[in-house]
């Protein structure tokens, strides 16, 4: 049964007092996770989980239960587990539905929504060496205008060049790259002679 909030209530045959919630993520949210928008995606998705009181499935506070229970010294199916696994799979399905196709392989071996959530968080919130290298490579290929290039060069100079740096930064008109190059060569010659 659907309600106006795009939340679908599914009767729970195993425990009718605890209906399951399915979220129609595609009609409710327009941000699909890609390699550059994790924080926006997380904000949107986590708010939805909190709103439906389902966040415990992804943050680990609503732990998975055991499949069976001992009732009158007999092993019986645990109805609470069945409810938990059904709800978790609905959340997992919503997570998958909110990912771009290129992101889905990251979580294809996971079995719970918490595992998927953790892998996505670890992938996109902690800058890995590979990710940092990728950003540096992109910056290297990005054409810099003269002002940015000159600032980058000045930032890389040590204290021996401090008087030159101060003189250049004190100018009203930005120095040209050719003029900076000439001044750096002159300063280097002076440093080598002394």
114-159 per-position pLDDT tens digit: 999 999 998 887 666 666 676 677 667 777 778 888 888 898 888 9
List the beta bridge partners of residue 113.
none
Same domain, 40 and 115: yes
**Predicted pLDDT at 115:** 95
Q: Is the CB of residue 46 less than 8 Å from the CB of residue 55?
A: yes
- Within a domain: 105: yes
**Predicted pLDDT at 166:** 92
Same domain, 159 and 107: no
Same domain, 122 and 168: no
Which H helix or E strand runs over 137?
A: helix 129-141
**Predicted pLDDT at 31:** 85
Same domain, 12 and 71: yes
Integer-rounded Cα radius of gyration of the chain: 29
Same domain, 32 and 59: yes
**Predicted pLDDT at 70:** 78
User: Cα(2)–Cα(24) distance, rounded to whole angstroms?
Assistant: 10
Same domain, 125 and 160: no
Nearest to 22 by CA among 34, 30, 32, 12: 12
Q: What residues make up the domain containing 181? A: 143-193
- Within a domain: 12: yes
- Within a domain: 125: yes
Low-confidence ranges of the chain (pLDDT < 70): 1-9, 11-15, 17, 24-29, 126-132, 134-135, 138-139
Same domain, 85 and 149: no
User: Cα(1)–Cα(8) distance, rounded to whole angstroms?
Assistant: 6
Structure tokens at 26: 């595609």
**Predicted pLDDT at 131:** 60
**Distance from CA of residue 15 to its chain's centroid?**
36
**Predicted pLDDT at 73:** 86
Question: In the chain, how long is the greatest CA-to-CA distance?
Answer: 94
Same domain, 34 and 99: yes
**Predicted pLDDT at 110:** 93
Which H helix or E strand runs over 193?
A: helix 177-193
Count how many domains the chain has.
2
Same domain, 67 and 121: yes
User: Cα(73)–Cα(17) distance, rounded to whole angstroms?
Assistant: 26
**Predicted pLDDT at 4:** 46
> Structure pTM?
0.57
Same domain, 108 and 155: no
Same domain, 125 and 150: no
């Amino acid at each position: 049964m659907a309600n106006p909030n795009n939340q679908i209530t599914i009767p729970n045959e195993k425990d009718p007092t605890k209906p399951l919630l399915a979220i129609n993520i595609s009609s409710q949210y327009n941000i699909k996770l890609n390699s550059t928008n994790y924080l926006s995606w997380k904000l949107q998705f986590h708010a939805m989980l909190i709103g439906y009181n389902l966040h415990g499935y992804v943050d680990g506070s609503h732990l998975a239960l055991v499949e069976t229970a001992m009732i009158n010294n007999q092993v019986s199916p645990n109805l609470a587990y069945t409810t938990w696994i059904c709800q978790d799979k609905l959340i997992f399905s919503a997570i998958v539905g909110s990912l771009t196709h290129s992101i889905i392989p990251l979580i294809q071996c996971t079995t719970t929504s918490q595992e998927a959530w953790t892998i996505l968080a670890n992938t996109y919130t902690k800058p890995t060496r590979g990710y940092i290298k990728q950003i540096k490579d992109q910056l290297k290929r990005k054409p810099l205008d003269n002002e940015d290039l000159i600032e980058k060069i000045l930032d890389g100079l040590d204290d021996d060049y401090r008087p030159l740096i101060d003189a250049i930064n004190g100018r009203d008109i930005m120095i040209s790259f050719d003029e900076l190059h000439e001044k750096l060569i002159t300063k280097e010659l002076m440093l080598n002679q002394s």
